Amino acid sequence: MNFTQNVIQGPLLELWETVVAYIPNLLGAILVFLIGVIIALVLRSVVVKVVALLRVDDLARKLEITAQFERAGLRLHIGGLLGWIVKWFFIVIALIAATDILGWEQVTDYLQQVVLFIPNVIIAVIILLAGIILGNFVKNVVKTAVEAAQLSSAEFLSGIAKWAIFVFTLMAALVQLQIAPELIRVLFTGLVAMLALAGGLAFGLGGQEHAHRFLNHLRRDISSEK
């Protein structure tokens, strides 16, 4: 009987001692995580208020950034977006600290990889916003130049310029996010080759007459000099 009790009680006592020894780490991890969540929520509110004071969203509307996202069915709120990024950044940091206290090394390593990936997301967002600004700027420049030259298809040419920049920007953002980078590079190379070929054909077909006139004029000048 004593042998049976020792066989049963021994593992139970060891389990109980392990649980009792683990409780302080568990409570410490929960406390650290809760503090991290509170800090994340406070910083999110601070970021949203600072962006609102700086009127960044008003600037985005003036630069037609918000309109571009709305055309894609997305409602852009820069303050909310930055606040969301900051909030989850610090929540993940709190999770890393909590899992490190608990000794969960694999979870800690995974969360560290997530934190290291966040700057790529921020850079990709900046690339997209810069691409939208540049695309709209180039569209206006091309449209003004074509209209000033009294050429037709000003809307068509300016639209091509804008969307070409948008496509290149999207590809750059996807490469920054490490989403199928090899495929994006192949598509980028193919797109550049397609545009070069289309431009060459357009110039070759549409500019034959002008090239012929230029060569005849050059030939006459050379002949007159002789």
What digits encode the pLDDT tens for the residues 103-140? 888 878 888 888 888 888 888 888 888 888 888 888 88
Number of independent structural domains in the chain: 2
Query: Is 193 buried (19+), middle (13-18) or exposed (0-12) by CB count in 10 A?
Result: exposed
Does 223 map to a domain?
A: no
Inform me whether the pLDDT recorded for 155 exceeds 80.
no
Q: Which residue has the higher pLDDT, 202 or 14?
A: 14
The per-residue pLDDT for 8 is 58
111: containing domain = 105-201
Does 216 map to a domain?
A: no
Does 182 map to a domain?
A: yes
Statement to judge: residues 2 and 95 lie in one domain: yes
Over the stretch 183-215, which tens digit does the pLDDT of each residue have? Answer: 666 766 766 666 665 555 444 544 455 445 555
State how far the Cα of 60 lies from the Cα of 56, in Å rounded to an integer.
6
Statement to judge: residues 4 and 68 lie in one domain: yes
Mean pLDDT, range 136-147, rounded to an integer: 79
Which letter does DSSP use for residue 180 in this model? Answer: S
- Nearest to 85, CA basis, from 119, 127, 136, 51: 119
Confidence of residue 38 (pLDDT cuts 50, 70, 90): very high
Token pair for 204: 């070759």
Question: Over the chain, what is the mean pLDDT?
Answer: 75
Q: How far is CA 122 from CA 96, 126, 180, 181, 182, in A?
A: 20, 6, 18, 18, 21
The per-residue pLDDT for 44 is 92
The per-residue pLDDT for 171 is 82
